[in-house]
Amino acid sequence: MSQFTLSETEPLICREIHSDVSSSGSRYIPALRLFPVVILASICRGISMYARFDYYQDTFCPDANYTCGWFQNWLMLTPNISVRMEMWPTFALFVVSFTTVGWWSTFGDRRGRRPVLFVSLFGALLFDLIYLVVANIPAIHKDAQDSLSLGIIIYGLLGGFATYTGVILAYASDISPSPLSRTAIFGVLEACSFTGFRIGAVFGRLAGSVLSHSNLSYILSVFIAAVNLAYIYFVLPESLEQTPREQYPLPPGTAAKYIFSPFSVIFRSRKHLVLLALATYMYSLTLALDASMLSFNLKRGYFPSLSRSLLLAIPAVLNLLVLLFIIPALALLFKNIYGDTEKSGLMFAKSIAQNSILVAVIAVLSILEFGGPGSTFLFGTFSFLYPFSAGALPALYSLAASYLIALHRSSEIGALFGALYIWVSLADYISHAVLDSNGFEIFGIAAVCLVIAIILLVPDGPSPPSEDTSGVDGADIAA
């Protein structure tokens, strides 16, 4: 067992840091304790997104030639709308979050998950409050962009959505009762986020459009966020065992160390995490596919007999079916065949990731081959196959955790998830901002990215500790 302490520039250590999973400092907490946090946070994002959309339409649309009406497909296309509506603010938030996610993630690994979770969601609440103030004080309307930019900086300095997602994944990894359950829990968290985001969009639309009161959307979002913060502070337990802080020598930390953490955490592990991170990034470049397929079905009338609502609902239902039922059922089947060990957990996560991406490849290639612009039924049929690839991202995250455990670096799991998600968020931004959802060429680009992702997942990963306890990579531990 190895212990480390801090320089004054690093997050305070408040627990032991170990080199193997059996003594990682985590403890058993029912996953149901975490799900409300994700659901409430996602609802807040959906609500405030509509409020910001409404404000942008009223304030910036006439002057900046924004295309109005993007929110008409709010139920399914909300990520696409958010990026297109706030392209530069979204990118600015990514840049600021990139510089802080390393520090906050390391803080979470050493001091505990709850403080980081609380701070990141508090930043989101402040962001909504700034929008509310700017929207309701006429004197600062002419400086609205500057005021909102200040809000973005504050939100990013407090971690932003990247830090929130990283600490949620780290918390879930801490409390997963077994290696096989980790993939299933990540899938359920994805389902909670998916559902909560769209429920929030419904609430925001009702408050802002039906009731014609955009301020109600902001107020509702702030209120739910406050309830969520109270739940985290008073109810949610810490997932890491805490020990009295002790002082030991540690190489001095610098600001640059944390700024470049999204690179260093991954590239310190030679090929294992590097290939996995590249595969995750390439897959994330295709995250706009669901919106693109839905746009084709809606605009070109491939299924005239199906109502618009049904076309919107079918992909969402299939997505949730995979995340909530199919993946847990497969995990149970895998457990009965291979047992529940680190090795079987790694095998399961890799199998789900590879096969999910393969399903996406089959759907996209089939559309390219049989579902061209002149086809109707075939395009729609294969577009409904794509939601069955929904397990790819949760499985990739779970596989990353398995790799880190196998490399005897489980004490850095928060830093890893923060680094991974910052790259996922960049790829997601590029996917929605650059790829033309109205052009058929998006499917050719996506096919290339998906095939590359599968190839990058082919090499074997590191052996789990139970299989190879002597082969610890000294360079990884020393790094």
pLDDT tens for 174-199 read 999 999 999 999 999 999 999 998 88
Total length of the chain:
479
Topology (CATH level 3) of domain 21-478? Growth Hormone; Chain: A; (1.20.1250)
Q: pLDDT confidence of 291, banded at 50, 70, 90?
A: confident
Radius of gyration of the chain (CA): 22
- pLDDT score recorded for residue 209: 64
pLDDT in tens, 263-284: 989 988 678 899 999 999 999 9
Task: Give me the phi and psi of 286, to 5 degrees please.
Answer: -105, 10
- pLDDT value at 401 more than 90: yes
Average of per-residue pLDDT values in the chain: 79
Residue with the larger pLDDT of the pair 151 and 332: 332
Among 219, 56, 51, 166, smallest CA distance to 414 is for 166
361-to-103, 190, 375, 448 alpha-carbon distances in Å: 37, 21, 19, 9
Instruction: Specify whether the CB–CB gap between 388 and 173 falls below 8 A.
Output: no
For residue 25, the 8-state DSSP code is S
- pLDDT value at 20 more than 80: no
300-to-14, 91, 117, 376, 377 alpha-carbon distances in Å: 58, 31, 43, 9, 11
- pLDDT value at 19 more than 50: no
Neighbours of 244 (CB within 10 A): 7
Q: pLDDT confidence of 366, banded at 50, 70, 90?
A: confident
Instruction: Please state the domain extents for the chain.
Output: 21-478
Instruction: Give 72's Cβ-side CA count (13 Å radius).
Output: 9
Mean pLDDT computed over 304-315: 77
Mean pLDDT computed over 196-223: 78
* Segment of 54-58, 214-218, 379-383, 395-399 carrying the highest mean pLDDT: 395-399
Q: Enter the tokens of residue 374.
A: 């002149």
* Percentage with pLDDT > 70 across the chain: 74
Amino acid at 159: G
